[in-house]
Amino acid sequence: MRLVLLFFWLIFLWACTKSKPLPIFGERKVVGTDTVYHTIAPFSFVNQDSAEVTRETFRGKIYVADFFFTSCRTICPLMKTQMVRVYEATANMPDVMILSHTIDPVHDDVRKLRDFADRLGASSSRWHFVTGEKDSIYSIAQTSYFATALEDSTEPDGFVHSGSFLLIDKQGRIRGKYDGTSELDVNRLIGDIKHLRIESNGDNPAGLR
């Protein structure tokens, strides 16, 4: 009898701990028998090493995206402190990357981004800080990531931008949105990255660390 009770207790624990798939953000449409989800649009930016960064850079990768600028004195320092936590927590996850877009490309040239990345101890093999045409950055923020990014002369530093971290899966779909200034919400992001890796590799997470 005890063995039977133990068996059902283990089944109960397994059911409670088995993760539900993360949601998929954005519009979707049915084409034939397939459901087509919103994905991040193609892009081309330049990173802190003067290398081109495109959607192909993240093929087969999970990544976390955000928007910032190096001279920001409001939420950006908090966001980057929390993103460093994500960077460190995913150090042994080769299929996880980070993409930070400056919303002040006039000021944030490649040299500025290189200095900024160096101060954070970030390697471009895992964390890209990118600049590009202002309109392209603002457009992809608003239409692909559903994030705020714009100039506003009434703001202390002249810009308004989202403090969100966006979790993007290997198919380019948004799977989570998190407050990048909140330690608790970033804890949730780190946990969701682990769940998404398991989901991306099927129910058997063999080989994942």
Higher per-residue confidence, 197 vs 201: 197
Q: Read off the tokens for 113.
A: 């981004």
pLDDT score at 5? 45
Residue 10 has pLDDT above 90, yes or no: no
Residue 8 lies in a domain: no
pLDDT score at 14? 42
Task: Read off the pLDDT band of 29 (50, 70, 90).
Answer: confident
Residue 195 lies in a domain: yes
CA distance 209 to 49: 29
Task: Read off the pLDDT band of 19 (50, 70, 90).
Answer: low
Residue 87 lies in a domain: yes
Residue 20 lies in a domain: no
Q: Read off the tokens for 197.
A: 């890796």
Q: What is the mean pLDDT of the chain?
A: 88
Residue 148 lies in a domain: yes
| Structural domain count, the chain | 1
pLDDT score at 98? 98
Residue 99 lies in a domain: yes
Higher per-residue confidence, 3 vs 204: 3
Give the CATH number, domain containing residue 170: 3.40.30.10
8 A C-beta contact, residue 192 and residue 198: no
Residue 17 lies in a domain: no
**Is the pTM higher than 0.75?**
yes
Higher per-residue confidence, 73 vs 92: 92
8 A C-beta contact, residue 38 and residue 173: yes
8 A C-beta contact, residue 121 and residue 86: no
Residue 167 has pLDDT above 70, yes or no: yes
Give the rounded percent of residues in the chain with a pLDDT score beyond 70. Answer: 86
Pick the range with the lowest mean pLDDT from 21-25, 88-92, 126-130: 21-25
Residue 186 lies in a domain: yes
CA distance 60 to 200: 10
Task: Read off the pLDDT band of 2 (50, 70, 90).
Answer: low
Within 13 Å, how many C-alpha atoms sit on residue 93's CB side?
Answer: 26
Q: Read off the tokens for 199.
A: 């989901």
Q: Give the domain range for residue 146.
A: 39-200
Residue 17 has pLDDT above 80, yes or no: no
